[in-house]
Amino acid sequence: MSQAPASTPVAPRGWVVRALDRVEKIGNKLPDPAILFLLLMVAVWVVSWWLSGVSFEAVDPRTGNPIQVKNLLEGTALTAFASSMVNTFVTFPPLGVVLVAMLGLGVAEHTGFISAALRAALVVTPKMLLTPALIAVGILSHIAVDAGYVLVIPLGAVIFYAAGRHPLAGIAAAFAGVSGGFSATMGIPSSLDPLLSGLTQTAAHLTDPSVTVNPLNNFFFTTASSVLIILVGWFLTDRVIEPRLRGTPVDGDASQMPKLDPLAANEKNGLVWAGAAMGVTALLFLLTLLPEASPWRAPDGTPLLPGQSNLLVAQAPLMQSIVPLIFVFFLVPGVAYGMVSGSVKTHRDVVQGMAKAMGGMGYYIVMAFFCAQFIWAFGQSNLGALIAVEGAGGLRALGLPTSVTLIGIILLTASVNLLIGSASAKWALISAIMVPMLMELGVSPDLTQAAYRVGDSTTNIITPLLPYFPLIVVFCQRYVKSSGIGTLLALMLPYSITLLVTWTAFLLGYWALGLPLGFGASYTYPIGG
């Protein structure tokens, strides 16, 4: 029998809890997420038509031309939308990532491997350390690009439920680590580092072509930030989120919930053989990585960071194959466990596990369709670029003190993040204005970039425009059927607000103490060149 979270008295509902309850109530009264994205797309069409005849002085830094809002209701735009609809959907980045990963996870879950492995792990893991460990794993998952969304977050729910805690609290903690801590690092560079630094250097060259920005210019700061995110996430999960969830019943399909029963003899044997199968697979895979001529390595001539392996750059086939590798490394032990434990009799049981996983993704696929169309339309309209550039220009016109301007960059980024999901797109727009502006005030591009990273991460977890946001809603619905956008917003809003305040203060304190930002980084830029 499934083990529900332990019954504990409901905590007094203070003003914070009541406010979050209000957010959840209002949020869940919104239309179904799929319809909401459809309505937002129609709104973008109307606004684009309204503003298409207006001439704006704001210049798109990516093109050097004044921004012109494109009328999406004109004939050519509508036919372009219709002709690209299918391609927009099937090339929606999260769609393939989610479905391929879930094929392997589905087998591992269907055979009972995940449940048994977690129960075995919980025996030796102190319950009080589950939350910080989960958040840390979420931050560490950034080296595998977006894999954390489809791997760490659903497992967070499973781990918490199996430990007798509320599964939505596990989703919240994992989401805070994976997405709220997106700009943080755990001693290992992420693909975001060279991406942002390249845009920062391009922006700096508008003022000084001799400026060189090291791809690891924020490395020490982002590594230190991971400690802050773990501590903040740990406190909020255990002291705010979980007490509030005590009155929220888990009413998902009991047969699909992890079990906390002691391991039976066949389950123990299954885990042994699953571990052996995974070990052999990992060893064989490792042998293909070691040779200098390994096909998993990046092509010769690929630029590398100091001390960086050609296996760990974005151009390496290894880093581009993370999701297929997740599929394999869950499929193999799942099948081995099932064959030994008796949950897999024939190959049909394996296929059934995959089919069951895909069946559970039906609602997400529907939402992904409408989400993809909306994001495409919003990008085509140029409305996001207009808002970002006008906002940055307005901040510049205020002429605020340097420290206040940095706070303004963080707040501007956080606001734009609610409209533009791509980190590179936001920084490409904002950096061309803010980096040269602050260089004129004696602030280095490295510090400006650090401020941007704080603002970008802290609102990732509350924007429905995050491509994976609908997926997280689906994960919540597995445990609490009534979950909706409001449920997830109410869960994540405390993390977003608290991280925005504490991380901003942390950056200002870090700056005041003069601690190193990263390799080859500085806080100041010599005015006059």
Rg of the chain over Cα atoms, rounded to whole angstroms, equals: 24
Kindly report, residue by residue over 442-475, the tens digit of the pLDDT.
Answer: 889 999 999 999 998 998 888 877 878 888 998 9
Kindly report, residue by residue over 474-500, the tens digit of the pLDDT.
Answer: 899 989 988 988 999 999 999 999 999
Tokens of 368: 């992904």
- Whether the predicted pLDDT of 5 surpasses 60: no
Average pLDDT on 341-364 reads: 88
Tokens of 352: 């059934």
Of the given ranges (183-192, 241-250, 292-301, 517-526), which has the lowest mean pLDDT?
183-192
**Dihedral angle over CA of 147, 466, 246, 136, nearest 10:** 40
The two most distant CA atoms of the chain are separated, in Å, by 75
Query: In this predicted structure, what is the pLDDT of residue 298?
Result: 85
Kindly report, residue by residue over 85-129, the tens digit of the pLDDT.
Answer: 999 999 887 788 778 888 888 888 888 887 788 777 766 778 888
CA count, 13 A, side-chain hemisphere, 190: 26
Tokens of 358: 């895909």
> What is the enclosing helix (H) or strand (E) of 393?
helix 383-398
Closest CA to 454 of 493, 402, 398, 510: 510
- Whether the predicted pLDDT of 2 surpasses 60: no
Query: In this predicted structure, what is the pLDDT of residue 314?
Result: 67
Identity of the residue numbered 46: V
Question: For 262, which DSSP code?
Answer: P
Tokens of 394: 């307005």
Query: In this predicted structure, what is the pLDDT of residue 71?
Result: 94
Cα gap 456→383, rounded to integer Å = 19
